[in-house]
Amino acid sequence: MPALLRLGQTAIGFVMVALFGFTLLASGIVSAQQAEPESYRLGTGDRISVNVAGSPEFDTITRIREDGAIGYPYLGTVQVGGLTLEEAENRIERQLLAAKLLRSPQVTVTVEQYLSRQVTVLGQVKNPQRYGLSGPSTVLDLIAEAGGRREDGADYVILIRRENGQSKRHILTIDALTAGNAVGTRVQADDVVIVPRMNVFYIEGAVQKSGMYRLEENMTVMQAISVGGGLSPRGSYSRIEIKRHENDGQIATLGAELDDILKPGDLLHVKERIF
C-alpha cells in the first residue's frame, strides 16, 4: 500500500476517534445539564454548592436557611430562596461585582441535596424514606427511586395528599399508573406514597400445593384452586369451604361455589371425595 494512502487512512482514523470522543463528551454534558431541571426553585433546607471559575476561595457548600438566605464568603449572606439555579448564579455574580471582589465572576450553582420539596415513600418498597423532588416526578418514579416494590408488595398504591386543607386518600392501581390514567400520577411536595402488603389467600386440604398465595382482583374459588396446582386425586369440587374473618373478629365457615369471589385473608379448604 502506498505510504501516502496509509497516511491518509491514519489521519481519517484520528478524526473518527476525535469525533467519537467529542460525541461522548457532548452526551455527558447534555446528561449533566438535564440532571437538574432549569425550572426547579431553591427552597429552605436545600444544600447547594457554589463554584466560581478560577477563584476557589469563593467556593462553598451551604444549606439554605428558613429566611431563604445562605452564608457566603466575603459577602455575608445572599438571598437565593425561590430562585432558579440560573437566577441564583446571576444574583451571586452581581453581588460579587457590586462588592468589587471579582471583575468578571462566572458562578455555577448546583443542588447537592433536595430538602425543600419532599415526598415520603412507605410500605413494601426496598428503601422506605423521604425523597427530594428535583422536578416533575410520577408515583412510579418515586417507587423506583425507593428501590422498587418488594415481592410482597400489593398491585395498588395509596397516595395521601392534602387537598383543601384535608388529607385525602387515593387508591391507584399499578396498571393505571403504568398506563398514565390514574388521578395523581404526578406527585406533589409533602405527598405520602404507600405500597401496602399484597392481599393474600390461603388454600389447604385436597389440593396439589397448599400454602399462601397472592389474591388477584375478583379471583374466584376456581382460579384459586388452579393457583394451588389443582385438586389432588381425592379432591372434590363440590366439597369446598371458605373460612373468613368477620368484622366482629369471629371466623365464619361458608360453603363455597366455584364462581364465588374470594376476599383478602380467606382460607380455602378443599375436602376429599366421600367415595
| 179-198 as b/e: b if 16+ CB within 10 A | eeebebbebeeebbbbbbeb
Average pLDDT across each block of 10 residues of the chain; the chain has 275 residues. List them in order: 39 37 31 51 92 96 95 95 95 96 95 88 95 85 93 92 90 86 77 94 96 93 96 94 90 94 95 87
CA distance 193 to 108: 34
**C-alpha–C-alpha distance, residues 107 and 172, integer Å:** 43
Report the alpha-carbon distance of residue 157 to residue 123 in Å, rounded. Answer: 10
pLDDT at residue number 182: 65
What pLDDT was estimated at residue 22? 32
- The rounded distance, in Å, linking the Cα atoms of 136 and 60 is 28
How far are the Cα atoms of 113, 129, 171 from residue 63, in angstroms, in the given order?
9, 21, 36
Q: Cα torsion at 73, 76, 79, 84 (round to 10°)?
A: 0
pTM over 0.75: no
106 CA to centre of own chain? 35
